[in-house]
């Protein structure tokens, strides 16, 4: 591949700091590998003195492979295999291992971390319905506290009461310390402390890594940056590559302002812009450029391409969500007939749960697809399990297991001690609460509700449980306790109702659930072995990929930007996320929005309106 002038300048750069702003599809990986090869060939740098850091093992492996192939083709005599390619965690753990003689036994796996957090949380007698979501959120918040080094007393949890979070955090940290265990975040904290406090060890690693290259620099967090700066000093041969317009990992602690302030931290920095895009058509870049221009805090840049022109990006608005998914199905079938491989088509969503109904349609029409993210099974959600338990009880099931699921949802104040056998009897419950008329009234009402449900359709039953039984009030109370948005729980109810619509009996709906669940399991099994079919992905997981045809779904206000994006910084990140999705497309790009979903009116995303793109929409 012939280098353009900006790439050549980056490759030839020798000493001192350099910032390479690399737009999407601009050949940054080729530039980085060529630069490392040039350090060896032209400047005769010792290969063991070069460190190349990136964020994922896959990216590190790919870059190492491409670099070694380049060196082989060039007939390089230097021992280029001694160049270090690694992730932040891998490199920093290597430093710790060398200093403290650590082994794999000292590393706390994500699975063991979750188990430990469960033990701690349940030891504090927390009542948690949404176990998976709760512990994922808890784990992310612990990481956030560690990576940003926020004083614990100044951190306010979005998952649970603040005093509960702080208690769990302190217990977790103490347990890890006592057992000499490090989680992934500790690798950064301990490495920083080691290099900060031990000048002799710091000097040793500074002499070892005299040339440092960092890929995807826009995704760096503060503690990673602080460690990199320590390692690069005093020579500051630090070569960073990234695109501030593609910084989309704030939830992992990434801060785009670190890249924005790099010239202030290193006043002698040389800056180059890779502005030539080798991926997309001029029309796609023009539309994406209009979107990202809405961000104020960014390096101003003009991305261009010498690729031939293509069709104008399509923007369509549908009345209802189901129309959107059926239309995408038709587009996929049409593109396949035109010769486009399934693997060159991608359907992108803001969240992984957004793909549920499209996946059902693809299954129904036997269109092969591959998931970049695991799709949460709607029917595994705790609310779904509650609905199913109500229906099973209505059908006559009296097992203790099903009764426990719903006896206090809403709260009827029924004690577990009242369930003396594996089979529950309403007569025995009334006998247990004899003399407590108000409790007997509640038990009578529950029995009546189950009789009412018995003759309903699944759709009708879900709505009756929600409004007639009082389940909606229970959700409101639980949302307040867990600091959740009540609307999010209501949306699960609405998705369940939509799924149940059209089924006449509980048994029919249960059969559908079983078939759907089995197909999801089959898809999960194939995910790591077969890379065939239309790609279904979140916008986050699509980063770094490219496809001939890209469909971005639900470009609506409240979805993109996400409803939780409150401040200006959050909105700018959402705008970057849409920009990343749009620039995945090589030849054709489609953005879809809907007027209504789950019987709620929706508006097109402000990002389309701001960019003037929504004027070209076509209502079907």
CATH code of residue 506: 1.10.486.10
Pairing outcome for strands 534-538 and 369-371: parallel
Torsion angle in degrees (nearest 10) through CA of 256, 258, 260, 261: 160
Residues 128, 208 within the same domain: no
The CATH number that applies at residue 340 is: 3.40.50.300
pLDDT in the model for residue 619: 43
Q: Could you give the CA distance from residue 211 to residue 240 in angstroms, rounded to a whole number?
A: 11
Q: Kindly report which listed range (140-154, 331-345, 444-458) carries the lowest average pLDDT score.
A: 140-154
Residue 414 maps to a domain:
yes
Residues 496, 408 within the same domain: yes
Residues 16, 159 within the same domain: no
Query: pLDDT class for 616, splitting at 50, 70, 90?
Result: very low
Residue 294 maps to a domain:
no
Q: Could you give the CA distance from residue 318 to residue 334 in angstroms, rounded to a whole number?
A: 19
- Segment 152-177 shows an average pLDDT of 91
Residues 219, 94 within the same domain: yes
In the chain, % helix, strand, coil (3-state, to 5) comes to 55, 15, 30
Mind listing the pLDDT tens digit for each residue in 237-252? 999 999 999 999 988 8
Q: Could you give the CA distance from residue 446 to residue 115 in angstroms, rounded to a whole number?
A: 36
pLDDT in the model for residue 8: 96
Mean pLDDT, the chain, as a whole number? Answer: 92
Query: pLDDT class for 620, splitting at 50, 70, 90?
Result: very low
Domain boundary among 119, 150, 181: 181
pTM: 0.87
Q: Kindly report which listed range (120-124, 201-205, 400-404) carries the lowest average pLDDT score.
A: 120-124
Instruction: Let me know the angle formed at the C-alpha of 277 by 275 and 282, rounded to the nearest 5 degrees.
Output: 110
pLDDT in the model for residue 1: 66
Residues 409, 504 within the same domain: yes
> 591 pairs with which residues across the strands?
315, 552
Residue 480 maps to a domain:
yes
Residues 440, 411 within the same domain: yes
Domain boundary among 464, 482, 513: 513
User: Helix 131-148 crosses helix 110-123 at what angle (to 10 degrees)?
Assistant: 110
Q: Detail the residues annotated as belonging to a binding site for ATP.
A: 22-29
Q: Detail the residues annotated as belonging to a binding site.
A: 22-29
pLDDT in the model for residue 519: 84
Q: Could you give the CA distance from residue 277 to residue 390 in angstroms, rounded to a whole number?
A: 56
Residues 484, 403 within the same domain: yes
Split into its structural domains, the chain has a count of 4
How many Cβ atoms are within 10 Å of 567's Cβ, its own excluded? 8
* Structural domain containing residue 497: 379-513
Query: pLDDT class for 129, splitting at 50, 70, 90?
Result: confident
Residues 354, 391 within the same domain: no
* pLDDT reading at 573 higher than 90: yes
Domain boundary among 128, 151, 181: 181
Residues 21, 44 within the same domain: yes
Query: pLDDT class for 530, splitting at 50, 70, 90?
Result: low
Token pair, residue 60, equals: 């590190």
How many Cβ atoms are within 10 Å of 503's Cβ, its own excluded? 17
Mind listing the pLDDT tens digit for each residue in 171-228? 999 999 999 999 999 999 999 999 999 999 999 999 999 999 999 999 999 999 999 9
pLDDT in the model for residue 617: 43
Residues 553, 414 within the same domain: no
Residue 484 maps to a domain:
yes
pLDDT in the model for residue 119: 92
Residues 458, 506 within the same domain: yes
- Segment 307-327 shows an average pLDDT of 94
Residues 61, 44 within the same domain: yes
The phi and psi torsions of 291 (rounded to 5 degrees) equal -65, -50
Q: Could you give the CA distance from residue 9 to residue 186 in angstroms, rounded to a whole number?
A: 38
């Amino acid at each position: 591949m012939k280098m353009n002038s900006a790439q050549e300048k980056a490759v030839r750069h020798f000493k001192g700091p350099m910032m390479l702003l690399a737009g999407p599809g601009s050949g940054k990986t080729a530039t980085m590998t060529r630069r490392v090869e040039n350090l060896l060939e032209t400047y005769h740098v010792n290969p063991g003195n070069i460190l190349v850091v990136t964020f994922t093992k896959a990216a590190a492996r790919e870059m190492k492979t491409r670099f070694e192939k380049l060196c082989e083709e060039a007939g390089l005599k230097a021992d280029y295999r001694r160049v270090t390619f690694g992730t932040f965690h891998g490199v920093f753990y290597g430093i710790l291992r060398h200093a403290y003689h650590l082994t794999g036994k000292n590393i706390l796996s994500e699975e063991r971390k979750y188990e430990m957090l469960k033990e701690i949380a349940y030891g504090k007698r927390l009542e948690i319905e949404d176990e998976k979501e709760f512990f994922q959120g808890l784990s992310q918040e612990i990481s956030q506290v560690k990576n940003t080094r926020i004083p614990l007393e100044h951190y306010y949890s979005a998952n649970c009461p603040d005093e509960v979070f702080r208690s769990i955090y302190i217990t977790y940290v103490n347990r890890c310390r006592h057992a000499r265990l490090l989680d992934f975040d500790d690798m950064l904290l301990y490495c920083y402390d080691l290099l900060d406090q031990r000048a002799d060890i710091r000097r040793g690693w500074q002499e070892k890594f005299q040339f440092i290259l960092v890929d995807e620099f826009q995704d760096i967090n503060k503690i990673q940056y602080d460690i990199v700066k320590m390692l690069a000093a005093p020579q500051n041969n630090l070569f960073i590559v990234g695109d501030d317009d593609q910084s989309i990992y704030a939830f992992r602690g990434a801060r785009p302002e670190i890249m924005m302030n790099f010239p202030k931290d290193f006043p002698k920095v040389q800056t180059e812009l890779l502005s030539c895009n080798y991926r997309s058509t001029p029309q796609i870049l023009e539309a994406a450029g209009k979107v990202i221009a809405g961000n104020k805090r960014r390096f101003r840049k003009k991305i261009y391409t010498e690729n031939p022109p293509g069709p104008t990006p399509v923007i369509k608005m549908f009345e209802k969500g189901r129309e959107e998914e059926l239309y995408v199905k038709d587009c996929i079938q049409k593109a396949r007939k035109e010769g486009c491989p399934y693997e060159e088509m991608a359907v992108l969503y803001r969240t992984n749960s957004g793909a549920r109904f499209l996946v059902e349609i693809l299954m129904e029409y036997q269109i092969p697809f591959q998931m970049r993210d695991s799709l949460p099974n709607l029917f595994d959600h705790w609310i779904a399990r509650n609905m199913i338990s109500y229906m099973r009880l209505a059908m006559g099931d009296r097992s203790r297991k099903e009764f426990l699921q719903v006896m206090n949802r809403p709260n009827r104040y029924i004690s577990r001690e009242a369930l003396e056998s594996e089979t529950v009897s309403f007569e025995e419950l009334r006998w247990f609460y004899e003399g407590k008329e108000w409790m007997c009234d509640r038990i009578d009402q529950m029995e009546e509700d189950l009789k009412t449900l018995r003759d309903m359709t699944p759709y009708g039953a879900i709505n009756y449980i929600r409004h007639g039984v009082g389940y909606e009030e229970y959700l409101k109370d639980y949302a307040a306790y867990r600091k959740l948005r009540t609307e999010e729980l209501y949306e699960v109810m609405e998705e369940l109702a939509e799924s149940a619509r059209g089924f006449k009996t509980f048994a029919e709906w249960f059969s559908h659930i079983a078939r759907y669940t089995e197909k999801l399991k089959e898809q999960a099994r194939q995910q790591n072995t077969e890379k065939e079919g239309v790609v279904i992905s979140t916008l986050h997981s699509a980063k770094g990929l490219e496809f001939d045809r890209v469909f971005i779904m639900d470009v609506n206000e409240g979805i993109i930007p996400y409803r939780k994006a409150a401040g200006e910084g959050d909105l700018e990140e959402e705008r970057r996320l849409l920009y990343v999705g749009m620039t995945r497309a090589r030849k054709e790009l489609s953005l879809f929005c809907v007027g209504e979903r789950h019987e709620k009116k929706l508006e097109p995303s402000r990002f389309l309106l701001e960019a003037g793109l929504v004027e070209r929409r076509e209502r079907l």
